[in-house]
């Protein structure tokens, strides 16, 4: 099996989201703190309008740039 070379060339196509909805937060981050300040707006991950909050409220999206 060939080893994949880690490359950061695709990062520019995938800016770190300012806002995320709950499903996307759970998918990319971890457990929600649920003390977050939600507001209604556009999720930067899926593009839908929903209750959104900051990725840090899901423990940050640690694997955002590596998936
Ligand atoms: Zn979303």
Cα 49 to chain centroid, rounded = 15
Sheet of 20-21, strand order: 20-21, 49-53, 39-42
Distance of CA 55 to CAs 6, 7, 58, 62, Å? 24, 23, 5, 10
Q: Is the dihedral of CA 24, 47, 44, 46 positive or negative?
A: positive
Q: What is the token pair recorded at 2? A: 């060939």
Q: What is the pLDDT of residue 65?
A: 82
User: Per-residue pLDDT tens for 7-56?
Assistant: 555 545 678 999 999 999 999 998 877 666 789 999 999 999 999 999 99
Q: Ligand 1 centroid vs 25 CA: distance in angstroms?
A: 7
Q: Distance from the CA of 23 to the center of ligand 1, in angstroms?
A: 6
Cα of 2 vs centre of ligand 1, distance in Å, is: 33
């Amino acid at each position: 099996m060939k080893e994949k070379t880690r490359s950061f060339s695709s990062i520019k196509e995938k800016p770190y989201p300012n806002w995320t909805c709950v499903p996307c937060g759970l998918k990319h981050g971890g457990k929600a703190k649920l003390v977050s300040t939600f507001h209604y707006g556009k999720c930067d991950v899926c593009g839908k309008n929903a209750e959104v909050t900051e990725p840090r409220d899901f423990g940050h999206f640690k694997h955002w740039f590596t998936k």
